Homo-oligomer: A and B are copies of this chain.
Amino acid sequence: MAKNQPKLEADLADATIHIRDHCLCLHAQRAARALARRFDDALRPHGITSGQFSLLNVLNRREPVAMGPVAKFLAMDRSTLTANLKPLERQGLVSIEVDPEDRRSRKLLITTEGRKVLRAAVGVWKHEHAALESEIGVDPEPLRAGLRAIA
């Protein structure tokens, strides 16, 4: 009985080492944090974060979009999208309007000012993303494919 505990501990130690090395959830969180920090830094001069850049980018369409599809595309909870829109609306980069066709729904639009910020930020993205791809030293395509398969 008392002899059993050390064996369980050793098994657990083996498992945790395996998990540290192989857990895709852990590896994805680490990469996501590192990339967010990197692009946050690069975009800081333009007053937006990496997440806000992605959101502005998605909203840059001819026709306004509702929240549901945007949240789904970003693989994000709808309530998170609600929260994320607030600073952008406050800065005047997006506008949120009740859909007259269905008054439960909101139409999301990038503003002229938002497009101006986005245009400048795209320049930063191009530079930074090219640097990233060259730095990682692996073919980015299978990586993108894997990430797409997960989300």
**Chain A positions near chain B (C-beta within 8 angstroms):** 8-9, 12-13, 15-16, 19-20, 22-39, 50-51, 54, 57-58, 60, 62, 74-77, 115, 118-119, 122, 125-126, 129, 132-133, 136-140, 142-151
For the A-B complex with A27-B151, A31-B147 known, give 20 more contacts whose Cβ atoms are closer than 8 Å: A8-B119, A9-B115, A12-B115, A12-B122, A13-B62, A15-B122, A16-B57, A16-B118, A19-B125, A24-B133, A25-B35, A25-B50, A26-B57, A28-B28, A34-B75, A132-B150, A138-B146, A142-B142, A142-B143, A143-B143
Residue of B nearest to A75 (CB): B30
**In the assembly, what is the distance between CA of A18 and CA of B115, in Å?**
16
Residue of B nearest to A12 (CB): B119
**In the assembly, what is the distance between CA of A125 and CA of B21, in Å?**
13
Among B23, B26, B31, the residue within 8 A (CB) of A150 is: B31
A138 touches B145 (CB 8 A): yes
**In the assembly, what is the distance between CA of A29 and CA of B146, in Å?**
13
A38 to chain B: closest CB distance in Å? 8
Residue of B nearest to A25 (CB): B35
